[in-house]
Structure 1
């Protein structure tokens, strides 16, 4: 199996489905539930027109839904791009114009995302080389995007796990 962030996530889900994957704001979710939530989100995102190599802008506070959205985006071969929801409206508009995302995920959109359903993620072979884009705060101008390769994301995850 190709070593991509999604492939590693899928391996962990297969090995430890009932293990707690995330605990946030009093809510816990197993790897299996997180994966099923991500699969349901991937279907929603695909219906919204998210395709391979397109960006999906995530501009929402941390949540279980954000954690589920990332593997959902990867499974479509798309690239998650993170922008703080606190960025000023004019600067946000400039980022959106430059990035031209296939979809913008705000807190409101994520709150309406589907609950864990049936099905699994399947898209590791389509994963782009870029694992994510993180935008700066834009405190001195328009936020700038910093690309992180999939290899860099995996290296960081391995270091944290070790």
Structure 2
């Protein structure tokens, strides 16, 4: 048995001739189909051959800014905390006063339009109490569940 040559079975010239004959036949959309057929693999190869090198980000530079004087004593810290607490309480009192005035303005508007604002206020208080009770019950339930987990984990 004579050895077969590899080139005799797979002749690229015959394949190219067949392709050229196929392309020469008048078919509708042959050029757009050929262009898309060539563009898709070329786009894939182009995407795969691109390399990206990402450098790691620079470490953040932290600058500590302190508005407090260096070397404050404990008493100075305590006094500044007291002053800040008084400012906070004054702001909260002012907000509460504004809220109360707003409520009174809405009540006056409601009375002027013929609404029973006292009944509406009672209903709102009942609803607020109900929501508070529900929140308290949930808090207790979570606390008890957490305590049970702590005890069982020992």
Say yes or no: TM over 0.5: no
TM class by shorter-chain length? under 0.3
Structure with the larger helix share: 2
Q: Which has the higher contact order (CA 8 A, sep 6+)?
A: 1
Larger radius of gyration: 2
